[in-house]
Homo-oligomer: A and B are copies of this chain.
Amino acid sequence: MNWITGFHAVEEALAAGRPLDRILVAKGRHGERVEEVVRLAKSRGVPVRFEDRGQVDRATGTREHQGVAALAAAKPAVELEDLLAAKGDGGLLVLLDGIEDPHNLGAIVRTSLAAGAQGVVIPERRAAGLSPAVARSAAGALEHTKVARVPNLVRALMDLKEQGVWVYGFEAAASKSYTELDYSAGCALVLGGEGRGLHRLVREACDQLAHIPLRGPISSLNVSVAAGVVLYEVVRQRSLRLDKPVVPDHSQRSG
């Protein structure tokens, strides 16, 4: 149990988007600073509980908590370098350009793990953090997935490209279909935020762009559905490569 105590430390943890399980506020503690912590916690999806001061003492193991304490989540974010194991064949990363809905982020973490990705990269700002709401939607997958929070997504894309990772961005306006890309080498899939798509600099940093074909009067898929469609195209292409080595057609016919 990793308790963060006192206003300054709790405010910093919230501002940095550190994954927090919950926040305790001692009953009887009031004022603007408490309200600010509660407001921030709400915006991050961190539950707040009001407890007797004695209970906060016991939970945190100290009396030096100023009546406010945050329980750090088990899952810390990793560094981008920790994900570079993905640079070889079979490597697979997912980069999210500003996904704000924690349910979508959770579902994408879950699908990424299920599809064999090594990790997920999210920006530090203007994006859902690793909140309990994300963990719930990830249905256990968050504990097993490496998630890197980076200060600058474009910089992260550049670093990945320097390491030999192919960077593929997905957006409706691209001319190629996602099924036409070659996912055999290590690659990073970049998906944009709900209803907004990729930022210009992110788009320009991609090696290739592709779309998911849409019929009817539909301009986009839900981003977690789009991530699933592309991730499982990677799985499909790679399983073909592994299970069915290229052989002349006549040998297949005789089989």
Contacts and interface: CB of A to CB of B under 8 A. Distances in A.
A216 B113 contact: yes
Interface string A218-255: 10111011111100110110010000000011000000
A137 interface: yes
A187 to B, nearest CB: 17
A139 B144 CA distance: 32
B229 A110 contact: no
Contacts of A216: 113-114, 116, 141, 144
A215 B114 contact: yes
Contacts of A213: 235, 239
Contacts of A215: 113-116
Contacts of A140: 217-218
Interface in A126-174: 137, 139-141, 144
A65 B209 CA distance: 56
